[in-house]
Structure 1
């Protein structure tokens, strides 16, 4: 899977916004693969989507759709006690944003 999403909404601290609206002003960043070590913090339910919340060492959060968590667990051999190091991309489903593992094609395109 690859994404055609070219820009993604982040907070000024660098956390991925799961939804744009409700008065928060996003910082639109290029949607390119980024490397991060993330630890799953829990599950959150919004108006239209349930998602897992990942956190990095700087306490920035990154939502992930449930479907992508299942794919991650099936495909990633390095999940250790809820922590995984990898390359990530942002994707959009409906009006919501979340991360997923970057594909080989996306990683090759960044070089």
Structure 2
């Protein structure tokens, strides 16, 4: 299996949402591409010039596009998908000239200091304030915690 080259920076708009394409509109800021935790709710599907994608939204009016291929991976692997929402760790990836979110991989979470298990004891989850969410025992990983 070949090692993938990680996208170094990703374009975000003025509200903090991921821009799906950079062309005519300049990004508000380019951010380092590292795993981030967020509660995203599915908004719908849209078709662009080159691809169809799912659109997720988060608080503050932020939106996050997702490629269809990555949705299949999410549906197969997200332990906490509930009524169109997913609270987990995400990464940005680029396909062609388009950007989208996907489920963060275990090796990426390990680089971010994510340990799994209880959110109270995971340094990465504590840094995101996830130990203060309504379900602090759920540490957000790509795989379910067998102790729950």
TM range (shorter): over 0.9
Q: Which runs of 5+ in 2 are unaligned?
A: 114-148
Structure 2 Cα separation of the partners of residues 76 and 34 of structure 1: 15
Structure 1 Cα separation of the partners of residues 4 and 86 of structure 2: 20
Match of 2:88? 86
Match of 1:25? 26
Which fold has the larger relative contact order, with Cα–Cα distance below 8 Å and residues 6 or more apart in sequence? 1
Match of 2:98? 96
Which runs of structure 2 are paired with 1:1-20 in the superposition (5 Å)?
Answer: 3-20=5-22
Once the two structures are TM-superposed, the CA of residue 2 in structure 1 deviates from its matched residue by 5.6
Q: 1:3 touches 1:91 (CA, 8 Å); kept in 2?
A: no
Match of 2:62? 60
RMSD: 1.3
SS in 1 for 2:102: strand
**How many pairs were matched up?**
110
Structure 1 Cα separation of the partners of residues 40 and 96 of structure 2: 24
Match of 1:73? 75
Structure 1 Cα separation of the partners of residues 21 and 84 of structure 2: 24
> Which of structure 1's runs of 4+ aligned residues deviate more than 6 A?
none
Structure 2 Cα separation of the partners of residues 7 and 89 of structure 1: 11
Once the two structures are TM-superposed, the CA of residue 77 in structure 1 deviates from its matched residue by 2.5
Q: 2:42 touches 2:55 (CA, 8 Å); kept in 1?
A: yes
Q: Which runs of 5+ in 1 are unaligned?
A: none
